[in-house]
Structure 1
């Protein structure tokens, strides 16, 4: 999906969205002369100082100084990056943004997505109406402490036990069988019978940050019911579990302190919301991904992992922690009692009790040291020594001397080992690690071979193009790559190209276990700067020139060695190769 839009396209979106209409959807405006005024939504004030000009199509707050056009307003109020804000406004007025540089294909793709968005909205309304007439569903939610108001806020619904009731409803709404199947809400049996994916379940609509329903989660109400406890929509044209976070559409409005809580389930989110804790999101029935981390960076400065207190929750915490520590987010971790989850804990101890837990959340280092303590008996000498050695390995990941000093003191207190000894060992282990790995750990060339910045940039650009245009991978000259990681990435990507020609990202990421490598893949895939075919060809030319120069250097070194060894025949052979290569490079240079 391209991230570049011409000035004409951007202007057409701005012109189609009257700023007064848009702003009025978020706050009360009163006309004063040729302008409109209201209380600023971006800071607390008693006197209205937020002004919107219909004539200039601009807004400005004379209190806090914010201002801009309709796009910047949506970016601020919805916490969206520029491109998503542009799409938000385009969707609001049914404008088609160019994505494929082909008007007919653009229109077809837009219509397919629009129909799926409409279908999901109609399905959500259907489920909501079913819940209103289902006493057992209402009673289940009320017993879980969920009020009627919260049910309405989240659009909770109910899927009946009937096999094809939703299918029949969607057909009456005018959707084709192909569209219904594409939604993933209806399946086809071997006998070519259509049946609903969700049956006899409480339904949770999944809403993207732009307010569009993209999928559903369904929970069984009785423990003895058949099927998994939670069932989610499959991947579709408008929905991917690796990108979406449940409740982000609500949560982004309540991030006053730049903090988001991450929990495991739908009911965790809703129970916390019911108790007044509204800055909460959940991954959608899948492991936390690097894409989720990248998305959270847009909205928050700090995330607090608040997973279940059991062993599964601990495993999920460790995986999410390893992903998030490679972001710019400050990461904290809450440890719940073993038999509790956020839902049960907030039911027992309420708003204040849960917030006390969050205020005492651990840093990543504190959490890792706590795990080490559980694995070692600190009443025994061997246990204390092993804990000390393992703790030093953890602390060597710290970058600042203040942090090293602080945590060294903590370890010293637990073990009785002198703090200065621990601090010195941490610094020594950091130095040894840097010396042993070096800058060129994954490079094929000798460590003293310097890679020009232009060549490194060309490699990155070429890889980015290949990931977004997978048909180019087969012909890619892999010998041009100096980084083993890039070679493995392209090989894995080529094995995960789907029938539609796109790379299956979830399967690709599952092949890479190193958080650093995963982060690089995410950045390449989510980089919104478009790489054209011409850019790609230019990058290949740069790589080719460097590769040929490196080959010349190797041939020259070989000639020197064979000359020293007195091997005249080999020298003659290598010299001919050198001459041919220089001639080829000269000819290529002319063209």
Structure 2
């Protein structure tokens, strides 16, 4: 860990940033007792095992073991080095970190991102103000059923037809042409003339889950206008279409029973929001990606794909569905009519009509069977047989016998094939597939390392937890009982801190350990809610004492054998006396 900033300054940044607020910007947390729980952002899981403690200002996943404080959380989520994560958090609470001439780390990337965030915020304010002066744009939104309140909520704006109006505005705000070009908001012609990327378009700011504007989507109002219907910001250091989801910043606060809708466009999101359906996100003009699926796992338990009903929407649905299959999410598909999209559907049928249609959403298997039916004529024998064989391949992905039985019955009813035949073929092909995918890996044939007895390990951990919560007893702790060098370093660090006479927090102790696994272990100890009494601690010491002495006896036995073989009778006598003294002491302790 860096020593560039003092421990006091680092601690002040930590104390100024509530870890619950920070983590909530990346995932959905629910209060459970004194803590907050959610799905771990560091591994896939079906049940929430990621715990955040406001009291301790720590996080810990009881599934994968990830843990740390607010700085390590930002380092992991933003992929930042320690200093940049510290600056990220300091900037969030308007703290100014002192700079030193001998600082060696390169902060250019951090500063560039900071400037890009500022520029996009200024650009969003500019577009929003321009909309107020452009009557046709305002009327267009009103005709689409978008209220002024929703316009304000989403920061919807307008880019005028002028070629350099935004360029001139950003120039007045002190941004250099290099910065403007890096943002992608400004382009350069072959003749080196600079002009605005977005012109004559309704503008939708793209906001990340932490409330920072990272890009824009621009929509043409009329079909006859030149250019693509939708135009998005390019890839920049702060924006990637493959990683961001439109409206996730709002949506994460409106999840109903963990359910979330995925739609295709900005207007789909905003129209549904206008009608009170606020748990909706959209991919940004690109195919749905595996990373999108990973993000959604942090926030939701069920996802409903609600893409357009046309052929392009059907194709996009299949691609997204195949990605989401590999997640822990419960996935359903809204099979909209061919001439409808979520925007037009909710405008036509309203909130209740949309919800009624959602109640008919299909499971992945139901949707795939519907696709098969659309490609096979079930009125013909060969069509039914082909559908039956292809349906068996679909049912093979099912995990439980109950599901297989349920869908086998449906396919049997549609084809006239006996249900038991279908079920048997599904299980046979499923078993064959499962067996072919199993790889047997034999363990290496080398001697296993010496193992510490489990009871000894548990006793050490319990004793360390007691020391962390009762640091006054550390100076009396028998360090020789500890088998892990990390435990010894931890207690010595605690002891050194205590001797300074200055109040300290566990976060300060963590900064002394660079190894991420060691940091995780400290957090695991601190987040463990099981009470450790002084009596428990004394019992742990006795267990440790017994195992320590047994290890000493084993060591002495080996030494005695070795010295006896070498003919060192005097050394054998000395070691034997030690062996007898330890045995005697253990016997005396056993009586008490």
The one-character-per-residue Cα deviations of 1:452-496 (angstroms, maximum 9, x if unpaired) are 699xxxxxxxxxxxxxxxxxxxxxxxxxxxxxxxxxxxxxxxxxx
Aligned partner of 2:438 in structure 1 is 439
User: 1:288-299 residue pairs with structure 2 within 5 A?
Assistant: 288-299=288-299
* CA distance in structure 1 between the partners assigned to 2:241 and 2:7 by the alignment: 33
Q: 1:400: Cα distance to partner?
A: 1.2
Aligned partner of 2:342 in structure 1 is 342
**Cα 1:115/1:369, change in 2 over 3 Å:** same
Is the 1:219–1:230 contact (alpha carbons within 8 Å) kept by the matching residues of 2?
yes
* CA distance in structure 2 between the partners assigned to 1:410 and 1:6 by the alignment: 68
Confirm or deny that 1:367 pairs with 2:359.
no
Aligned partner of 2:524 in structure 1 is none
Q: Which runs of 5+ in 1 are unaligned?
A: 27-40, 52-64, 441-447, 455-528, 532-591
Is the 1:17–1:70 contact (alpha carbons within 8 Å) kept by the matching residues of 2?
no
User: 1:179-578 residue pairs with structure 2 within 5 A?
Assistant: 179-435=179-435, 437-440=436-439, 450=442
Q: Which structure is higher in RCO with an 8 Å CA cutoff and minimum separation 6?
A: 2
User: 1:162-173 residue pairs with structure 2 within 5 A?
Assistant: 162-173=162-173
Q: Secondary structure at the match of 1:450?
A: coil
The one-character-per-residue Cα deviations of 1:395-451 (angstroms, maximum 9, x if unpaired) are 11112111111110111111111111100000111122234x3434xxxxxxx7637
Aligned partner of 1:564 in structure 2 is none
Aligned partner of 2:54 in structure 1 is 68
Is the 2:18–2:57 contact (alpha carbons within 8 Å) kept by the matching residues of 1?
no
Q: 1:384: Cα distance to partner?
A: 1.2
Aligned partner of 2:126 in structure 1 is 126
Q: Secondary structure at the match of 1:246?
A: coil
**Cα 1:220/1:530, change in 2 over 3 Å:** farther
**Cα 1:285/1:255, change in 2 over 3 Å:** same
**Cα 1:327/1:192, change in 2 over 3 Å:** same
Is the 2:19–2:52 contact (alpha carbons within 8 Å) kept by the matching residues of 1?
no
TM-score w.r.t. length of structure 1: 0.63
* CA distance in structure 2 between the partners assigned to 1:207 and 1:290 by the alignment: 20
* CA distance in structure 2 between the partners assigned to 1:405 and 1:283 by the alignment: 36
Is the 1:207–1:214 contact (alpha carbons within 8 Å) kept by the matching residues of 2?
yes
Cα RMSD of the aligned pairs, angstroms, is: 3.5
Between the two proteins, the alignment pairs up a number of residues equal to 404
Aligned partner of 1:535 in structure 2 is none
Is the 1:96–1:106 contact (alpha carbons within 8 Å) kept by the matching residues of 2?
no
Aligned partner of 2:467 in structure 1 is none
* CA distance in structure 2 between the partners assigned to 1:181 and 1:150 by the alignment: 31
Q: Secondary structure at the match of 1:245?
A: coil
Q: Secondary structure at the match of 1:253?
A: coil
* CA distance in structure 2 between the partners assigned to 1:299 and 1:371 by the alignment: 29
Is the 1:19–1:70 contact (alpha carbons within 8 Å) kept by the matching residues of 2?
no
Confirm or deny that 1:135 pairs with 2:135.
yes
* CA distance in structure 2 between the partners assigned to 1:185 and 1:106 by the alignment: 26
* CA distance in structure 1 between the partners assigned to 2:303 and 2:188 by the alignment: 41
* CA distance in structure 2 between the partners assigned to 1:70 and 1:332 by the alignment: 39
Q: 1:50: Cα distance to partner?
A: 9.8
* CA distance in structure 2 between the partners assigned to 1:200 and 1:434 by the alignment: 56
TM-score w.r.t. length of structure 2: 0.63
Is the 1:81–1:298 contact (alpha carbons within 8 Å) kept by the matching residues of 2?
no
Q: 1:70: Cα distance to partner?
A: 8.8
Is the 1:321–1:364 contact (alpha carbons within 8 Å) kept by the matching residues of 2?
yes
Is the 2:13–2:90 contact (alpha carbons within 8 Å) kept by the matching residues of 1?
yes
Is the 1:243–1:291 contact (alpha carbons within 8 Å) kept by the matching residues of 2?
yes
Q: 1:67: Cα distance to partner?
A: 5.5
* CA distance in structure 2 between the partners assigned to 1:7 and 1:330 by the alignment: 45
**Cα 1:453/1:146, change in 2 over 3 Å:** farther
* CA distance in structure 2 between the partners assigned to 1:422 and 1:376 by the alignment: 18
* CA distance in structure 1 between the partners assigned to 2:56 and 2:214 by the alignment: 25
**Cα 1:173/1:412, change in 2 over 3 Å:** same
User: Computing the radius of gyration over CA atoms, which structure comes out larger, 1 or 2?
Assistant: 2
**Cα 1:144/1:433, change in 2 over 3 Å:** same
Is the 1:302–1:331 contact (alpha carbons within 8 Å) kept by the matching residues of 2?
yes
Is the 2:335–2:361 contact (alpha carbons within 8 Å) kept by the matching residues of 1?
yes
Is the 1:117–1:214 contact (alpha carbons within 8 Å) kept by the matching residues of 2?
yes
